[in-house]
Chains A and B, each alone.
Chain A
Amino acid sequence: MAPFLSLLIYTYLVLRCSSLTAPVDPSKSQPMGSSLGQNSSSEGVPLVDVPMALGVFSVDYHHVQAPFEIVLWIMLASLAKLGFHWSGRIPAVVPESCLLIMVGLLVGGVIYGVRHSAPPTLSADAFFLFLLPPIVLDAGYFLPGRLFFENLGTILWYALLGTLWNVLGIGLSLYGVCLLCPSSLGDVSLLHCLLFGSLIAAVDPVAVLSVFQEMHVNEQLHILVFGESLLNDAVTVVLYQLFESFLRLPSVSGLDVLLGGCRVLVVGFGGLFVGLFFGLVAALTSRFTPRVPVIAPLFVFLYSYLSYLTSEMLHLSGITAIVTCAVTMKQYVEANVSERSNSSIQYFLKMWSSVSETLIFIFLGVSTIQDVHMWSWLFVCATLLLCLIWRGSGVLLLTAVVNKVRRNKVTFRDQFIIAYGGLRGAICFSLVFLIDDFPKKRLFITTTIIVILFTVFVQGMTIKPLVDLLDVKRKKRALPTVSEEIHSRLIDHLLAGIEDVVGYWGQHYWKDKFEQFNRKFLRRFLIREEQQNRSSILRVYQELERREQGADRETVHPLLPEEMDSIRRILSRNLLQFNSRRPTYSRHTLHHDRALQRHSSLGERDTQFVFLCAVCAIGPRSISQDSSIPEEQTAPQHGPKKHLSFDIENEKNN
């Protein structure tokens, strides 16, 4: 708590300074030397007190204001996150998002108290351009591809039709509510209601991710809710833009509605193609990076962000683009790029998305403290109720239809969680700010905030006990085994064959066809020659070997004295060589120095496994979904673990 409190105090002081320091004209604060001549300019400028002595100490806040404040916010977010993960019990009951919003409320209140004006709100541009992409990229990169594509039909069904159902339902019924009370809500037109419906109906991927991550429900359920929240962006974007442009048009005709429908397709597929394009280009670029492995991760981020920006520029669905880009390039980049770069990519993705998510929730809390809130009991309660009703009925209806076609039915319990887990978040919030001004805009903003707070707090907090209560099927936690991989592969081939016999173009058929296309063209083009033919079975096997070698470090193998001597001899020889041809220090050779430090600090200690580390090959532990920090790698993996190879060549390979 101490660092957190000190940060609050520091922030307070900084804010007081910023409000006190008047913007200083740089020309007038120059030291004495130059002021002697210029100050007597006869422009009628009132003379300021010229400093008579050289200023030794000054505070120039405005010089650094923008980056300083950004860093302070990020620092606040990270410290808040540290803070309540430290207390063990709270995160189990209250989801992180709720706590972060509360912190935001606190900070917003503090700022309001100091400045007596509204605190900075989350600007829609900052949100859409900077805060949202990392989260969606992280989600797309770690998307369980197989599960996603198997359930793609259902996900699209929920995302497209479900969102449409929600939007129209909420919009129309809200209009009905407004008609009921013409005195206070009379100037809210149908189009306004529909516009509001379009932004409030969409399930938010950020909120869903943060709540579901802690729940560990079965994977199918997770992917259904999560996939829906990602893909409904296309519908939301179109409907929002549609209704906004309708508001600006003098009249709306049937043709416009039809065009709107076409627009959904354009936006969705456009985003898809933009993402595909950038994903393939990124994969191709990664093929040429082995000489400069340090910047390989950068390409992943740059291309993904470019795809997002491009589709935003063309008013296509940015989320679809960035998810497609990540899914497309993942397998090729992973094959092309070194282990260390892979770890870097995963690590940075997790870090950025975590920071982004934290910032979003804190800003949600801060932005709640507004100067003007317009409140209407009827409107707010009606919105809340209608959101729940329409979501529930939508899920029920759609599932009833889609269960007839699915192999694996969606049970009632799962349906309930899907309906209840439809959380709203920051996307609604930003969209509502972007509406053109009209008399009831404040009402919409207030209602949106209330809905978001309700879904995040009430639904977010109660969903975990409900999952336990309803005994929803949980995720089976299991380490992957080579057997499972092999047998799964066998079953895949078997099923593909049976589908061929039956003449049924089912999932396995298309999957097989894609795999053949992938192998024949894509992999050959996009992956480096050496890496091309590594089958997935081999990869799983190598991955497991690496993990076990890492785990073996815990068990100390007693070495014979002769082996110890030979190890020591090799190491000391290496040390001499390193010392004599020590390269000039640079960022790129940092890892050499670190390895060196480890050697030289050892001496005669009984750290046998550290010697083993230095000499044998170890690979990184792969990043688990809980964003654990990867182990530093010292050398590429090399052969089965049974032999300890004391080759000096291993060292040189660093």
Chain B
Amino acid sequence: MGSRASTLLREEEIEEIKKETGFSHSQITRLYSRFTSLDKGENGTLSREDFQRIPELAINPLGDRIINAFFPEGEDQVNFRGFMRTLAHFRPIEDNEKNKNAAPSEPLNSRTNKLLFAFRLYDLDRDDKISRDELLQVLRMMVGVNISDEQLGSIADRTIQEADTNGDNSISFNEFMKVLEKVDVEQKMSIRFLH
């Protein structure tokens, strides 16, 4: 147990994660055991290969992008804090949180942050705009190979046309939020983490 002692979760860490992400104690411990089960190298961090070993994720059309979203800019390993920080986006918004105006910074699972997460799946180059090419890439991944480029192009054009208000032929984050304002994002982008 010697080499693993450093990877056991300490109480202070749990408290810190709780404050940062809003998960409960039991949820954090449960997710920690999931983290360690994925961590085949047993070095306290996850690499991209660890994620790719999850079978369903491999066949998910957006699998690579989702995996990428866990890793911070330019890094190849993600520790438990980073893992939890990403998962915190998908925590359901609780009623008492909706009324909290005194929060110092916006909680990770707010509507804006959820939408930002989805936005970043499109926007690979992080220029805060979804260009036509980026949109086409994602569309191609989701829709499959049976649609002609031309049709895909017109779908992408139409998507941009519906969202674009300032005429720059790309979708900014605000335009993205506006398009999805009628969609119940708080409910759609939440997972029930078992207590």
Contact = CB atoms under 8 A, between A and B. Distances in A.
B163 A483 contact: yes
B124 to A, nearest CB: 14
A484 B179 CA distance: 7
Contacts, number: 125
Nearest to B117: A494
Given A486-B139, A495-B189, A509-B56, A409 B95 contact: yes
A128 interface: no
Report which residue of A407, A494, A512 has the largest number of chain B beta carbons within 10 angstroms of its beta carbon.
A494
A498 B86 CA distance: 10
Contact of A407 (B51, B158, B190): B190
A500 interface: yes
B97 to A, nearest CB: 13
A493 B122 CA distance: 13
A484 B155 CA distance: 12
A497 interface: yes
A537 B141 CA distance: 12
B133 interface: no
Contacts of A116: none
A556 interface: no
B34 A535 contact: no
Nearest to B184: A408
Nearest to B95: A409
Given A407-B92, A504-B191, A483 B159 contact: yes
A502 B158 contact: no
Main DSSP-derived SS at the A contact region: helix
A300 to B, nearest CB: 27
B31 A502 contact: yes
A3 interface: no
B193 A502 contact: yes
A575 interface: no
Interface residues of B, number: 51
A535 B57 contact: no
A501 B62 contact: no
A640 interface: yes
A117 interface: no
Interface stretch (B1-9, B12-20, B144-152): B144-152
Interface string B125-146: 0000000000000110011101
A500 B54 contact: yes
Given A481-B162, A488-B188, A501-B57, A494 B62 contact: yes
A493 B179 CA distance: 19
A489 B142 contact: yes
B143 A538 contact: yes
Would you call the interface of chain B mostly helix, strand, loop, or mixed?
helix
B31 A486 contact: no
B144 A533 contact: yes
B71 to A, nearest CB: 13
A229 B28 CA distance: 40
B77 interface: no
Contact of A500 (B57, B138, B182): B57
Nearest to A150: B187
B61 interface: yes
A124 B57 CA distance: 54
Interface string A456-497: 000000000000000000001010011110111111011111
Given A476-B182, A502-B87, A407 B163 contact: no
B66 A497 contact: yes
B194 interface: yes
A491 B158 contact: no
A490 B62 contact: yes
A28 to B, nearest CB: 74
B34 A506 contact: no
Interface string B19-48: 000000000000100100110000000000
B162 A537 contact: no
B66 A498 contact: yes
Nearest to B56: A500
B86 to A, nearest CB: 8
A506 B191 contact: yes
Contacts of B122: 490
Contact of B34 (A478, A503, A640): A503
Q: Which of A493, A496, A535, A640 has the most CB of B within 10 A?
A: A493
Contact of B143 (A407, A478, A503, A537): A537
Given A493-B60, A495-B189, A499-B191, A482 B155 contact: yes
B143 A498 contact: no
Nearest to B194: A504
Given A502-B31, A537-B143, A640-B154, A495 B188 contact: yes
Contact of B121 (A476, A490, A499, A538): A490
Contact of A535 (B95, B147, B176, B191): B147
A277 interface: no
Contact of B189 (A491, A509, A534): A491
Contacts of B82: none
Given A409-B95, A497-B62, A541 B187 contact: no
Contact of A490 (B54, B142, B179): B142
B62 A483 contact: no
Contacts of B155: 482, 486, 537-538, 541
Which of A476, A497, A544 gathers the greatest number of chain B CB atoms within 10 Å? A497
Nearest to B144: A535
Contacts of B92: 407
Nearest to A499: B191
B151 A538 contact: yes
Nearest to A481: B162
A498 B87 contact: yes
B191 A487 contact: no
B10 interface: no
**In the A-B complex, the 7 residue pairs with the closest CB atoms:** A533-B146, A497-B66, A500-B56, A493-B62, A500-B57, A483-B179, A478-B182
24 contacts: A407-B190, A481-B162, A483-B162, A488-B183, A490-B121, A493-B60, A493-B61, A494-B66, A495-B188, A496-B56, A497-B60, A498-B66, A498-B191, A499-B191, A501-B70, A503-B34, A504-B193, A504-B194, A506-B192, A508-B191, A509-B56, A537-B155, A538-B143, A538-B151
Given A407-B92, A493-B62, A503-B34, 12 more contacts: A405-B192, A482-B158, A483-B159, A488-B183, A490-B118, A494-B66, A494-B121, A500-B54, A501-B66, A502-B31, A502-B193, A541-B158
